[in-house]
Amino acid sequence: MALRRLTASLPLFSSVYVKFTVFGPTSSRTELSVRFRPDASQGSGMFAVNSLPIVVFSAAMIFAGLRDLTTMTIPNWLTLTLAVAFPVVAVATSMPLSEIALHLGVGFTVLLVGMVFFARGWIGGGDAKLMAAIGLWFGWTQALPYFVTASILGGGLTLLILGFRNLPLPAILVRQSWLSRLHDRGEGIPYGLALAAAALLIFPETDIFRLTVAFV
């Protein structure tokens, strides 16, 4: 029996073992067995890079929600970054072009609806743009579940804040400018918080999330 070891370098594997077994001087049989051993250092690095879209989107939602809660604003650079990042992530995860087109259609449609809501004074401009960016990432398959969830959370948030505004604000909290603003009955409702929370809940069910996990 002869045993030879062949070591090769692959992107996610450090070693490949090939086993040859030879029988007798006149007859022979060759057996080939291959075993891969993951390279922990390379694998962890690839995992960190490939999971970056999930981390970036989740972090953007957390930031948007907290920013709207504390300042009643959602920065344009945040929604623009999400809009620009989507086609890059979609191509990197091999999403079909037809699906990318559908996602773009959803984003544009939600933007138009959001502009109507903004014109009627129902939501803020930042909320409308955030909705469009989220719709772009989620596509048709999860658009309805997302907006149903966002509506429920938005209704609950509205009730909580209206109840909060009917209570006197303790003097020690008046010094907190964001709480004073939130307590002011003349201010709007930070729906960005509900939009972001709903996005975090529905995101694991989206195609872009599944493709990213599969790619990892």
Dihedral over alpha carbons 38, 42, 47, 50 (to 10 degrees):
-120
Given this model, what pLDDT does residue 174 score?
81
Q: pLDDT averaged over consecutive 10-residue blocks of the chain (216 residues)?
A: 36 36 44 41 51 92 96 95 94 91 96 94 93 96 95 96 92 86 91 97 92 74
Helix or strand holding residue 69 (H, E)? helix 52-71
Domain boundaries along the sequence of the chain? 13-47, 51-215
Query: Which residues are 16's β-sheet partners?
Result: 36
The pTM of this model reads 0.76
Nearest C-alpha neighbor of 188 from the set 75, 79, 68: 68
Q: Rounded CA gap, 128 and 140, in Å? A: 18
